[in-house]
Every structure is written in structure tokens, then in C-alpha cells.
């Protein structure tokens, strides 16, 4: 068992003579037993990265190492990895048993009986032992998904690679499999790289998440770190649902201004933005408070445009009276009607500031007011 | 009450669901079936008649009790037996070879990426459109230069073949030196069949899931193992298509056989050539000709029956 290292890995494709950069100088070390989620919008290079680790794509520049072993020049079969594909990629003419045996038959010298007992053991663990005699075509999507997982697990590889394995399942099954997959990975302790575009999966499953955009690694951090301390505007906007609200502001000394409102800054924030003329102010919807009157600082009169009730909470789309809209989430029991005038409080300690041109975070929200999840020690 | 119900009552039948357009449609269809089957029916009836009966009755009328005979069939079988065995010895290996090689080629041309691939595919496609006639002279020159019998002498003495057939006794298949030309014919047909079989397999292999083949590679399988354990078993429907298509082509071929088998007829003749021996000289014996045609067509029919359901799947593009 060893760490998986991506060392300045790049991938270029040749598109009729012009060079297309799919992955640009990505470096990350995935620790032994870690669950890393690669997340990003479609076309960001996350699948290409995974395929380079698998050996299905060549590495244009840089190295991939497992421990101290360089593996980017080895063929896929010698890399000791197992991959779960989005389409499951089961062999349709083989039974479930045949599908799960295949890898062991091809990559090891194990005796038939040994293979069979391993397959049966794994099938039992996944609850598919009664399906061993069936063909993939006779299974439901969820069952096929389990077989695909079983096929990877039974090989006991150094690294699991998963390419959006849950995206073909319906919503309910997906959340169920999400938990199960996480539990499995914890039990097996196998280093896992998991690709998804679904930020819920990214937030809930990974030990760490790596956010990619346009082939560039934006941030590698724990899910909460990425959520509360995003490295840049892209990460801030990508993680979280509904997305963070952004306002393009001009810096005037200790205040920020745009066409609709002005925002006064604390001395600390003023320091952070001192070098920039234009900044982006970001605020998460749940940090926007709807208050009764507009007398306090950082409180603005707004009109409710649309309310999206979700049961547990309401997403309230607010309007400064012109085109600039932003979202606030309030408790599900709170009644807000479209057309109503409300006062939105944008607390200073929850505000993120980003450089308008580079997008880099200048100041992230303060975490002092965030409650710790750890329970109080019992007296 | 409508007019239709009135009529129904008077006739005492239920006309529910009766549709005049349907009657016309079925009438036309039955007519078309009769039209298309009539040559076959006439052929069969002719083959079951004596020559005298044939001369006095229209071809499609079944034979009378006096005019009925199975003799044309026994004559045809006697005359064609060894030629049909030759044809089987030709068509079976040539069909299997061209299907198998086409499948290999398609796998290499479709599921792998390499430089210059498209050029090779283009050559294969161009190969389909070369007419038989255009290659006749080079082909006969080639087989005049290559002495297959001598080339194969160290591994195979092809004059020694003889086959025991239960009904017909010993059939000396290969005591004639020209028998080597059957091997020439096998190679020619296999080669000529490869472009079309490759194209058929290629269109089929394009639809195979790339992820599945990648999964097999990650599972530790080599390119050839992926072919043997994944691609080949999944190609059964397409094999049915190519086997039927190639078998029919090769079995019915006359042109290559005439050119490559030097004596034209003789012990090495294939069924299509031997059919000519049933014409009966100056007086045309239509009954033996018809019986011969049926006997010669039987193997292709059998192949269709054996692989028919797989053929249908392959044509429909099911995996």
C-alpha cells in the first residue's frame, strides 16, 4: 500500500495541428487509503486525469507514481488498479460470476477454487450472491452497479478509480449507494479516486476534494475547507447549492459600491482589498438574513421576486429593485411571499472577497462564529 | 341499424371488424406470393415429372400418377455427388476463413488506434468494389505460376484424399492433380471475401462499448485475450450474417471456378460447373436440370435454416 502521486501531470490533445490542453500541470498526492473526489464541470479534465491514472490515456508531461514506483509508462494491466465505469461496462455474455472472475483469471495465477471462493465472498459482502448465475442483461441498474463494484473489489487492487459510477442510478438509489460506497471504501481502506460532476457526491463522500476547471486544479482541500475557505471564485461558486451570490463591486477606500448598493468594510477587510480596484463580493445564501427593519448596518431593502419552497428551507430570490438578483435561504417554516418587501442583512463576517480579475480569494469568511460540531464533553 | 349489420343479419354471420380494404390487401398479398413462388413451384413439379409428362403438361401443373418419377433426382444426385462434396470442401473452409480473417481485421481496424489506419480501411472498402471480371486474368496468371500441390507437398499429400460416404460408397475426391486448384479457389474466395466481411464486422465492432473493452484491459487481458474472450463471443450474430452471406456467394460462384479449375469440369469440378453435365446434350432434359438445381441449392438452404435466427439478430444489429 502506498501513496498515489500526480507530479506535474499534463495532457495535451492534438486537434488538427493545434494543441488542446486537457489537463494542465496537475499535482496532488493521494494518501494511502484516502478517498479523493475529483470534481468539476463537464469537460474540465477530470475524466482525462482518471484515465491517465488508469493508463487508458498517455501522460503528455509529468509523472504518476504509486509509492516510489513510476507507473505512467506501464500498460494498464500492470498498474494494479481497478476501475468502475459510468456505464458499468459489464461483459454482457458472461454471468455475474464470470464477470467477477474475469479479472482474477487474467491477472493472477490463482486456482479455480480460490477464485470462486473470493468471488463468492465479495458477492456476499455486496449482497449479490444470489445473482451470481445471472447475466448482466437480467439485472436492474442498481444490481449492475453492484456487480461492477464487485468486479473491482474482488481484485483487491492498490487503487480504485471510479468514473461517475452513480450517475446512471435514480436519485433515491444514488444517495443510498453513496453511503454504502463510502462505508465499503472505509472498510477496505483502498486508495480511491472518484470522479463526479455532482457536488453533493463530492461534499459527502470524499476525505478531500480536488476541484478542476478548464484542466487546471483549483483547490485540493477537505469538503468543509473548500466550502468555507474557497481558494478562488470558481470554487466558491461551484461548491454549494444554491450557489454563492456574487456582486461585482468597485473599491472606494473602506466601502464597496456597485449600481444597486454600497457595502462598508471592516478595517481587516479593507486591508484585504487595498490592492484591488474591483472585487467580487460573495455571500452564501444561507448567510443572508431576512430581518424586520433596515436600520442596522449592511441591511438593504429588497423585493421578493420568487420563492422556491423546498420543505426544509425556502430559497428566496431577492431583487434590489433593478436587475441584480440574489438568493437567500430561510427556514422552511418561515412564510415569505413574492412581491413582499424585506430587509436583507449581509453580515460582514460571512462575506467572501475575491479579486475581480484573477478570481483569487482575498478574504474568506470568518469561522469564529461557526459553531463546532463536536459535542460538549459530558460533565 | 347500419347497412352492414343488415347484411350480416341476412347472411347469419358476424361482420364485426370486416374491412373491405383489408380484403383487397390480403388478396394482393396472396397474388404476390403466388407470383414469386410460381417459378419455384414449376421447377419442383418439372423435377418430379417424366420427360413425356413434361412435354404434355404445363410446367406448373403437378404430375399425374403415371407421369410421377423421382428418377431426375437420382440422376442429379449421381451426377452431382462428387461435385457437391467438392463444393463443400471449397465453401466451408473459404467461408470460415474469410469470416474469421474479416473479424480479425475489423477488430484491429476498429478497436485500436494507430497511424495510417484510415488509409488501410479505405483500401479494404475499395476492395469491395473491384468486380470479379477485372481480376480474372491476373488471377489465372497467378495460379498458373504458383504450384499449390508442390508447395503443400511437404505437409499435405493432397492426391491421397478419398472420402467414404455411406450412400455413395468411396468417393475419390483427390486422385486428380487438379484437386489442388480447389485450394487455390479457397484462397481466392477467402481473400476476395475479406473486404466485405471486414466492413460488416467493423460496423458491428464500432458499436461495442469502448468502456467494456477498456475494463477488460484493466482486468489484465491482452489485446488477443480481449478478442478471444469478449469480442469473439459477442460477434456470434455477425458471424451468422457473414457465414451465410459468404457461403451463398462462394457456393453459387461460377466465374472463379471456371477460371481457376483448369479443366473446366472433371473430378475437381464444383457443383455450379457440374450442373452443366445435366443438360442432356442435344435434347434438353429439363426434369434432371431442375432436380439438379434443387440438389445444388439444398446446402445453402440448410445454412439459412441453421443460422437463420442468428442472421436476423445480426442484421437487426443486436448484440
Is the CB of B219 less than 8 angstroms away from the CB of A92?
no
A53: nearest CA in chain B? B218
Q: Both B169 and B284 in a single domain?
A: yes
Helix (H) or strand (E) holding B123: helix B117-128
CA distance B302 to chain A (A): 27
pLDDT exceeds 90 at position A114: yes
What's the CATH code, domain A4-233?
3.40.50.300
Q: Both B35 and B108 in a single domain?
A: no
In total, how many domains does chain B have?
2
Q: How far, in Å, CA of A123 to CA of A98, rounded?
A: 12
- C-alpha cell belonging to residue A239: 461548491
Q: How far, in Å, CA of A163 to CA of B312, rounded?
A: 36
Q: How far, in Å, CA of B153 to CA of A216, rounded?
A: 67
User: Which domain covers residue B159, as residue numbers?
Assistant: 71-316
Q: Which residues of A touch B211 (CB under 8 A)?
A: 85-87, 89
Q: How far, in Å, CA of A169 to CA of A150, rounded?
A: 17
Give the pLDDT mean for A256-279: 86
CA distance A103 to chain B (A): 4
**Contact assessment for residue B317 and residue B204, using Cβ atoms and an 8 Å cutoff:** yes
Find out whether the peptide bond into B247 is cis, omega within 30 degrees of 0.
no
Q: Which residues of A touch B220 (CB under 8 A)?
A: 77, 103, 106-108
Q: Which residues of A touch B215 (CB under 8 A)?
A: 83, 85, 89-91, 151
**Contact assessment for residue B277 and residue B263, using Cβ atoms and an 8 Å cutoff:** no
Q: Both B44 and B96 in a single domain?
A: no
- Helix residue ranges, H only, A134-282: 141-153, 171-188, 199-205, 223-228, 233-238, 267-273
Provide the residue ranges of all domains of chain A, joining segments of one domain with +: 4-233, 243-363
Q: Which residues of A touch B219 (CB under 8 A)?
A: 77, 82, 102-103, 106-107, 151, 155
Q: To probe the interface with A, which of B114, B216, B220 has the most A CB atoms within 10 Å? A: B220
Provide the angle, in degrees to the nearest 10, between the axes of the packed helices B210-218 and A96-107.
50
CA angle (B203 as vertex; B198, B207 as ends), nearest 5: 135
Q: Both B43 and B144 in a single domain?
A: no
**Contact assessment for residue A250 and residue A280, using Cβ atoms and an 8 Å cutoff:** no
- The Cβ of residue B304 has, within 10 Å, a number of other Cβ atoms equal to 13
Q: To probe the interface with B, which of A92, A151, A152, A193 has the most B CB atoms within 10 Å? A: A92
Q: Which residues of A touch B234 (CB under 8 A)?
A: 92-93
pLDDT band of residue A52 (cuts 50, 70, 90) is very high
Q: What are phi and psi of A133, to 5 degrees?
A: -85, -5
pLDDT exceeds 90 at position A97: yes
Q: How far, in Å, CA of B252 to CA of A28, rounded?
A: 65
B219 touches chain A (CB under 8 A): yes
Q: Both B52 and B136 in a single domain?
A: no
Q: Both B26 and B92 in a single domain?
A: no
- In b/e form, how buried is each residue of A40-78, taking b as 16+ CB within 10 angstroms? beeebbbbbbbbbbbbbbebbebebbbeeeebbeeebbe
Is the CB of B212 less than 8 angstroms away from the CB of A107?
no
pLDDT exceeds 60 at position A369: no
Q: Both B51 and B76 in a single domain?
A: no
Q: Which residues of B touch A74 (CB under 8 A)?
A: none
Give the pLDDT mean for A276-289: 91
Give the pLDDT mean for A40-59: 92
Is the CB of A77 less than 8 angstroms away from the CB of B215?
no
**Contact assessment for residue B87 and residue B230, using Cβ atoms and an 8 Å cutoff:** no
Give the pLDDT mean for A137-165: 93
Is the CB of A85 less than 8 angstroms away from the CB of B211?
yes
CA distance A90 to chain B (A): 6
SS (H, E, C) B156-186: CCCCCCCEEECCCEEECCCCCHHHHHHHHHH
Q: Both B207 and B282 in a single domain?
A: yes
Is the CB of B211 less than 8 angstroms away from the CB of A54?
no
Please report the residues numbered 220 through 259 in chain B whose beta carbons come closer than 8 angstroms to any beta carbon of chain A: 220-222, 225, 229-230, 233-234
* Region for B266 from its dihedrals, namely left if φ exceeds 0, alpha if ψ lies in -120 to 50, beta otherwise: left
Give the pLDDT mean for A338-361: 90
pLDDT digits (tens, 9 = 90+) for A115-125: 999 999 999 99
**Contact assessment for residue A116 and residue A124, using Cβ atoms and an 8 Å cutoff:** no
Q: Which residues of A touch B218 (CB under 8 A)?
A: 54-56, 76-77, 81-83, 103
B217: nearest CA in chain A? A77
Note down pLDDT in tens along chain B; length 319 residues: 566 667 666 666 666 667 889 999 999 999 999 999 999 999 999 888 888 888 888 888 888 888 888 888 888 888 888 888 888 888 999 999 999 999 999 999 998 888 888 999 999 999 999 988 898 999 888 988 887 777 776 666 555 454 445 555 555 554 455 567 788 889 999 999 999 999 999 999 999 999 999 999 999 999 999 999 999 999 988 998 999 999 999 999 988 988 888 765 567 778 888 888 777 667 778 888 889 999 998 889 888 888 888 888 777 765 4
Q: Both B19 and B86 in a single domain?
A: no
CA distance A350 to chain B (A): 45
Q: What is the pLDDT of residue A16?
A: 80
Q: How far, in Å, CA of A175 to CA of B70, rounded?
A: 75
Provide the angle, in degrees to the nearest 10, between the axes of the packed helices B20-47 and B286-316.
130
- Residues of A engaging B, defined by a Cβ cutoff of 8 Å: 54-56, 76-77, 81-83, 85-87, 89-93, 102-103, 106-108, 151, 155
Give the pLDDT mean for A237-254: 89
- In b/e form, how buried is each residue of B198-212, taking b as 16+ CB within 10 angstroms? bbbbbebbeebbebb
- C-alpha cell belonging to residue A171: 436519485
Is the CB of A93 less than 8 angstroms away from the CB of B234?
yes
Is the CB of A102 less than 8 angstroms away from the CB of B217?
no
Q: What is the pLDDT of residue A370?
A: 52
Is the CB of A82 less than 8 angstroms away from the CB of B218?
yes
CA distance A89 to chain B (A): 4
Architecture in CATH for domain A243-363: Beta Barrel (2.40)
Q: How far, in Å, CA of B210 to CA of B208, rounded?
A: 6
Q: Is residue B309 part of a domain?
A: yes
Q: Both B150 and B120 in a single domain?
A: yes
> How many Cα neighbours within 13 Å face the side chain of B286?
14
Q: How far, in Å, CA of A27 to CA of A159, rounded?
A: 17
B207 touches chain A (CB under 8 A): no
pLDDT exceeds 60 at position A374: no
Which of A86, A92, A103 lies at the smallest CB-CB distance from B219? A103
Please report the residues numbered 150 through 189 in chain B whose beta carbons come closer than 8 angstroms to any beta carbon of chain A: none
pLDDT digits (tens, 9 = 90+) for A192-219: 999 999 888 999 999 999 999 999 999 9
Q: Both B17 and B98 in a single domain?
A: no
Give the pLDDT mean for A258-277: 85
**Contact assessment for residue A294 and residue A300, using Cβ atoms and an 8 Å cutoff:** yes
Give the pLDDT mean for A90-95: 94
CA distance B219 to chain A (A): 4
Which of B217, B229, B319 lies at the smallest CB-CB distance from A77? B217
pLDDT exceeds 50 at position A309: yes
- Over pLDDT 70: what percentage of chain A? 96
Which of A76, A89, A106 lies at the smallest CB-CB distance from B212? A89
Q: Which residues of B touch A90 (CB under 8 A)?
A: 212, 215
CA distance A125 to chain B (A): 21
For B17, which DSSP code? T
Is the CB of A106 less than 8 angstroms away from the CB of B221?
yes
Tell me the DSSP string of A90-153: --TTS-HHHHHHHHHHHH----HHHHHHHHHHHHHHHT-GGGTTS-GGGS-HHHHHHHHHHHHH
CATH of the domain at B190: 1.10.3720.10
Cα A76 → chain centroid: 26
Q: How far, in Å, CA of B202 to CA of A49, rounded?
A: 30
Q: Both B92 and B171 in a single domain?
A: yes
- Could you tell me which residues come within 8 angstroms of residue A67 by beta carbon, excluding any fewer than 6 positions away? A2, A3
CA distance A85 to chain B (A): 7
Amino acid at each position: 500500500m502506498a501513496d498515489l502521486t500526480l507530479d506535474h501531470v499534463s495532457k495535451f490533445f492534438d486537434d488538427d495541428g493545434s494543441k488542446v490542453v486537457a489537463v494542465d500541470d496537475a499535482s496532488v498526492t493521494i494518501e494511502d487509503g484516502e478517498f479523493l473526489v475529483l470534481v468539476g464541470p463537464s469537460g474540465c479534465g477530470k475524466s482525462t486525469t482518471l484515465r491517465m491514472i488508469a493508463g487508458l490515456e498517455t501522460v503528455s508531461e509529468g509523472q504518476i507514481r504509486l509509492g516510489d514506483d513510476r507507473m505512467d509508462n506501464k500498460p494498464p494491466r500492470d498498474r494494479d488498479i481497478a476501475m468502475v465505469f459510468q456505464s458499468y461496462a459489464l461483459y454482457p455474455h458472461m454471468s455475474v460470476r464470470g464477470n467477477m472472475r474475469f479479472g482474477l483469471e487474467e491477472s493472477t495465477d490463482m486456482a479455480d477454487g480460490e477464485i470462486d471462493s473470493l468471488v463468492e465472498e465479495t458477492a456476499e459482502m455486496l449482497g449479490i450472491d444470489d445473482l451470481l448465475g445471472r447475466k448482466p442483461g437480467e439485472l436492474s441498474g442498481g444490481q449492475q452497479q453492484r456487480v461492477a463494484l464487485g468486479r473491482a473489489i474482488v481484485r483487491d487492487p492498490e487503487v480504485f478509480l471510479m468514473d461517475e459510477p452513480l450517475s446512471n442510478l435514480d436519485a433515491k438509489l444514488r444517495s443510498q449507494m453513496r453511503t454504502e460506497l463510502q462505508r465499503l471504501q472505509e472498510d477496505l481502506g483502498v486508495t480511491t479516486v472518484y470522479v463526479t460532476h455532482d457536488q453533493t457526491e463530492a461534499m459527502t463522500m470524499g476525505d478531500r476534494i480536488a476541484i478542476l476547471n478548464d484542466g487546471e486544479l483549483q483547490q485540493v482541500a477537505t469538503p468543509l475547507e473548500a466550502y468555507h475557505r474557497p481558494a478562488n471564485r470558481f470554487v466558491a461558486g461551484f461548491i454549494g447549492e444554491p450557489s454563492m451570490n456574487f456582486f461585482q463591486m468597485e473599491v472606494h477606500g473602506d466601502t464597496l459600491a456597485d449600481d444597486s448598493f454600497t457595502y462598508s468594510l471592516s478595517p481587516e477587510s479593507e486591508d484585504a482589498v487595498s490592492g484591488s480596484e474591483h472585487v467580487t463580493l460573495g455571500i452564501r445564501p444561507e448567510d443572508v438574513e431576512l430581518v424586520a427593519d433596515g436600520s442596522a448596518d449592511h441591511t438593504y431593502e429588497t423585493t421578493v421576486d420568487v420563492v422556491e419552497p423546498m420543505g426544509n428551507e425556502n430559497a428566496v430570490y431577492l431583487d434590489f429593485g433593478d436587475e441584480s438578483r440574489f438568493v437567500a435561504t430561510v427556514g422552511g417554516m418561515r412564510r415569505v411571499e413574492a412581491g413582499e418587501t424585506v430587509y436583507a442583512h449581509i453580515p460582514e463576517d460571512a462575506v467572501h472577497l475575491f479579486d475581480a480579475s484573477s478570481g483569487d480569494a482575498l478574504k474568506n469568511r470568518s469561522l469564529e462564529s461557526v459553531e463546532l460540531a463536536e459535542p460538549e464533553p459530558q460533565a | 341499424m347500419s347497412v352492414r349489420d343488415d347484411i350480416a343479419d341476412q347472411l347469419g354471420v358476424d361482420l364485426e371488424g370486416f374491412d373491405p380494404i383489408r380484403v383487397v390487401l390480403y388478396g394482393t398479398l396472396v397474388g404476390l406470393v403466388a407470383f414469386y413462388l410460381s417459378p419455384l413451384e414449376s421447377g419442383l413439379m418439372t423435377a418430379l415429372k417424366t420427360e413425356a409428362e413434361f412435354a404434355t403438361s404445363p410446367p406448373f401443373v403437378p404430375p399425374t400418377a403415371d407421369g410421377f418419377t423421382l428418377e431426375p433426382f437420382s440422376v442429379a444426385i449421381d451426377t452431382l455427388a462428387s461435385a457437391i462434396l467438392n463444393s463443400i470442401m471449397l465453401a466451408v473452409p473459404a467461408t470460415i476463413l474469410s469470416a474469421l480473417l474479416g473479424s480479425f481485421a475489423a477488430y484491429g481496424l476498429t478497436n485500436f488506434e494507430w497511424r495510417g489506419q484510415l488509409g488501410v480501411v479505405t483500401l479494404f472498402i475499395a476492395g469491395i468494389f473491384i468486380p470479379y471480371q477485372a481480376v480474372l486474368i491476373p488471377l489465372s496468371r497467378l495460379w498458373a505460376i504458383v504450384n499449390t500441390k508442390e508447395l503443400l507437398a511437404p505437409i499435405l499429400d493432397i492426391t491421397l484424399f478419398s472420402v467414404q460416404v455411406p450412400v455413395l460408397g468411396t468417393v475419390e475426391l483427390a486422385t486428380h492433380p487438379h484437386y489442388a486448384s480447389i485450394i487455390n479457389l479457397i484462397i481466392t474466395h477467402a481473400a476476395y471475401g475479406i473486404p466485405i466481411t471486414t466492413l460488416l464486422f467493423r460496423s458491428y465492432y464500432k458499436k461495442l462499448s469502448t468502456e467494456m473493452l477498456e475494463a477488460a484491459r484493466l482486468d489484465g487481458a491482452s489485446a488477443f485475450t480481449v478478442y478471444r474472450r469478449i469480442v469473439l463471443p459477442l460477434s456470434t450474430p455477425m458471424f451468422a450474417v457473414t457465414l451465410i452471406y459468404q457461403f451463398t456467394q462462394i457456393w453459387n460462384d461460377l466465374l472463379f471456378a471456371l477460371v481457376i479449375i483448369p479443366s473446366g469440369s472433371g473430378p475437381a469440378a464444383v457443383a455450379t460447373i457440374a450442373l452443366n453435365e445435366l443438360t442432356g446434350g442435344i435434347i434438353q432434359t429439363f426434369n434432371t436440370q431442375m432436380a439438379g438445381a434443387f440438389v445444388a441449392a439444398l446446402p445453402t438452404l440448410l445454412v439459412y435454416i441453421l443460422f437463420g435466427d442468428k442472421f436476423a439478430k445480426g442484421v437487426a444489429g443486436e448484440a
